[in-house]
Chain A
Amino acid sequence: MDVETLLRDSLSHQAEDAPRAGDDFFDRAVQARSARRRHLAGSVGVAVVVSALVVGLTVVSRQQGTDAAMSASDADARPIGGTATAPVEVMPAPPVAQQQAQLARDLGISDPPAVDVVRLVTPIQRERLVADCMTARGWDEGFAQETTTVDVTTGFLSTRGIVNGPGYPADEQERHDRDTYTCMASYPIDPAYVEDSGDPYVDSPVVEAAGPGQQLAGYDERAVLLDEDGRVRAAWVGNDFLALTTWGSGSCPEVPVSWTVEDGALTVTTGPLRPDAEVCTEDYGPFTVVLEVPRGIDPGRDLALTVDGRALSLPAAR
């Protein structure tokens, strides 16, 4: 029997032992989530959870604005990543040593090499850094540079950053695994990173968000762009981040819901943060998200930016 047939047979046989969903399967899930939320509210930090719920994103605590509701612990927090999905639950990443031990187990490495941590990163940052690290070690891991589209409303991504290269000989597997370990262990996920339920594939480039009325520090004022109607503002935040501000109802803000990078140009589409909202306030305020500058965009050059069909040009960062 060939290995494919044997595999199919084995999988279907093993699947017979899978648990069955009873009638109350989903109800139990809802109850468990409620219990987890009560627990998290006490142990992870009420401020983070409340921030996430208010902004509607899993929020990082880099905002340095005038929001009087921010707690001291928020203000002291380091820049960390977040996802743009609705907050289901929040939890910190495991400690670095635990991440590295798990990584070694995942890769089947019983004697992992000693690795110095270069720095703590967010998941999206890690993808790039690991791809670069593997490339530097001679592996053709590739990295999609042409087009990346992320729908922050649903969490769907049409493409992802890392694309494996053409493969390598079987006898290179062990060396590849060890290099993978070294590269990944060099850039652990920041244990302060707050995410939702741990799906590594719904991360978006949103690394920061400020709700209506909040301000973000760190703009390069020279490079701030305001469109004719003042409805869209874009600015570099250092060389690694790009802030986009849109305006709308404070309770139902319009936010970037997808973006595409192609030939060095960035195209953004906005949409309602809460499409299901039945009632929206009639106030008018800014909503800002900060994106990690997508691969393919050079902050040293003027950026061709299109927001909802409006073509704009953002001057290069310093």
Chain B
Amino acid sequence: MRSELEERFGAFVREHADGLLRVAYLITGDHGHAEDVVQTALLRTHDRWRRLGEPDHALAYARRVVVTTAAGRGRKRSNQELVDLPARADQGADDGTERLVEREVMASALRSLPRGMRAVLVLRYFADLSEADTAATLGCSVGNVRAQAARGLARLRDHVTTLSPTGRS
């Protein structure tokens, strides 16, 4: 029979694992790596479950491990080449060709960014974290987040402008 703590942790996994996987996938661009990262984060969260106390703290901790591990400088998978994020051509037909191309260009531009910078953009523009929460998740200053986001957006803008067939952003 599972303890109450285990039940609560199980509920935590059911509620948040998919969200953590999405963040990990957007940073790593690889299914296997994303799963490894999230499983690592969940194991570490499980190990600290009692100490973390509140589910919000646990989620913050798990997200932090996901992001920092995924954005780390390839220490676990330094010899692994990341696969390209798919452009999802099969599901983009309704949006028209131009939209599809824009998404492909943006996906390509994201891949060109350093992973730490990509992590900032994923947390800010996908997870919708505030600058302060992004900084807390990454363990850096708000100023750092702001600078990384600004530089990342500038680089994306350059890519999109350069690569888009319409030449506009």
Contacts and interface: CB of A to CB of B under 8 A. Distances in A.
A157 interface: yes
Band of interface residues on A: 35 or more
A182 to B, nearest CB: 15
Contacts, number: 187
B22 A103 contact: no
Band of interface residues on B: 35 or more
Contacts of A197: 40, 44, 69, 76
B43 A88 contact: yes
B51 A15 contact: no
B59 interface: no
B143 interface: yes
Interface in B95-127: 102-103, 106-107, 110, 112, 114-115, 121-122, 125-126
Contact of B13 (A21, A156, A202, A276): A21
Interface in A57-92: 85-86, 88, 91
Contacts of B31: 18-19
A149 B110 CA distance: 33
A167 B151 contact: yes
Contacts of A200: 68, 72-73, 75
B17 A26 contact: yes
A26 B103 contact: no
A16 B126 CA distance: 12
A114 interface: no
Contacts of B107: 10, 14
Contact of A86 (B22, B47, B68, B125): B47
Given A18-B34, A106-B115, A160 B139 contact: yes
A21 B75 contact: no
Contact of B88 (A14, A98, A105): A14
A276 B5 CA distance: 13
A280 interface: no
B103 A13 contact: yes
Given A14-B85, A88-B43, A163-B143, A21 B38 contact: yes
Nearest to A91: B76
Interface string A157-176: 10110111011001001000
A4 interface: yes
B141 A164 contact: yes
Contact of B42 (A26, A106, A108): A26
B43 A16 contact: no
A167 B150 CA distance: 9
B103 A9 contact: yes
Interface string B142-162: 011001101101111100100
Contacts of A1: 102, 169
Nearest to A7: B125
Contacts of B121: 7, 11
Residue from A9, A33, A198 having most chain B Cβ neighbours under 10 A = A198
